[in-house]
Amino acid sequence: MFKYILFDLDGTLTDSGLGITKAAQYALKEFGIDEPDISRLGFFVGPPLDRSFMDFYHMDHDTMLKAVKKFREYYGVTGIYENELYPGIDDMLSAVKSQGIILAVASSKPQVHVHTVLEHFNIKQYFDVIVGAELDGTRTDKKEVLAEVFKQLSEMSGNEDFNKTNTAMVGDRFYDVVGAKEHNVYSIAVKYGYYQGNELEEAGADTIVDTVTDLKTFLLK
């Protein structure tokens, strides 16, 4: 059994796609890009916003910053609540936490929004460490997010008991798997989220589960 388990947020704990894709749609309109079908914007769920705007719409840095600002204009007021907890998540977190496992959130979403979502769904109490990105665009890369989580876990354990060999990262995108591998921790990928194609297999996830029930069963082994 793992001693520390880190969870991604969007696509792993909550089904946040509607709010994120509508915010992306809103931001893109500012630049004359009309995408009436928000299902085509699913690639915005999970990765850092700056990367999505630059990679998929070839925005330069200054344009990307304006797009991120427009995105948050919608998301921070409305989109953040166009969101729902995946069925079984509360039960899974409660069961895992009851075993004495230390839980953390490691998200590329701005940390202020992470706290809002966790509080909205009344699951914040399960987590000992909560780390997200900064609003100024720093710490958006999953490797950097995980580094801060591990720093806080190490401080919490008095730098004595913390051991990455007893740690797992749970996420729905290849960014989560790659981040885990960069820190030499076990990676668990979930297929009920927003993964694309075979990205989880190609990223080399150590374990892949299909449902929240399967995830709970695996974590409690």
E runs forming strands in 102-166: 102-110, 129-133
Give a three-class secondary structure readout of 182-198: HCCCEEEEECCCCCCCC
Query: What pLDDT digit, counting tens, does each position of 57-74 carry?
Result: 999 999 999 999 999 999
* pLDDT, position 135: 86
Tell me how many domains the chain contains: 2
Kindly give the pairing relationship between strand 84-85 and strand 14-15.
antiparallel
Instruction: Note whether 97 and 32 are same-domain residues.
Output: no
Query: What pLDDT digit, counting tens, does each position of 161-216 carry?
Result: 567 889 999 999 999 999 999 999 999 999 999 998 999 999 999 999 999 999 99
* pLDDT, position 8: 97
Instruction: Note whether 65 and 158 are same-domain residues.
Output: no
Query: What pLDDT digit, counting tens, does each position of 1-31 carry?
Result: 899 999 999 999 999 999 999 999 999 999 9
* pLDDT, position 66: 96
Instruction: Note whether 199 and 135 are same-domain residues.
Output: yes
Query: What pLDDT digit, counting tens, does each position of 70-90 carry?
Result: 999 999 999 999 999 999 999
* pLDDT, position 18: 96
Q: Is the pLDDT of residue 218 over 60?
A: yes
Tally of CB atoms within 10 A around 115: 15
Instruction: Note whether 23 and 127 are same-domain residues.
Output: no
Instruction: Note whether 150 and 117 are same-domain residues.
Output: yes
Domain end, chosen from 31, 61, 81, is at 81
* pLDDT, position 13: 98
Could you list the active site residues? 8
Instruction: Note whether 87 and 77 are same-domain residues.
Output: no
Q: What is the dihedral of CA 198, 202, 203, 205, to 10 degrees?
A: 80
Instruction: Note whether 56 and 96 are same-domain residues.
Output: no
How high does pLDDT run on average in the chain?
94
Instruction: Note whether 33 and 49 are same-domain residues.
Output: yes
Query: What pLDDT digit, counting tens, does each position of 112-155 carry?
Result: 999 999 999 999 999 999 999 998 878 989 999 999 999 999 99
Instruction: Note whether 138 and 115 are same-domain residues.
Output: yes
Tally of CB atoms within 10 A around 177: 26
* CATH number of the domain residue 143 falls in: 3.40.50.1000
Instruction: Note whether 113 and 195 are same-domain residues.
Output: yes
Residue 38's domain comprises 17-81
Instruction: Note whether 49 and 99 are same-domain residues.
Output: no
Domain end, chosen from 81, 103, 137, is at 81
Domain end, chosen from 50, 81, 112, is at 81
* pLDDT, position 158: 78
Instruction: Note whether 51 and 102 are same-domain residues.
Output: no
* CATH number of the domain residue 34 falls in: 1.10.150.240
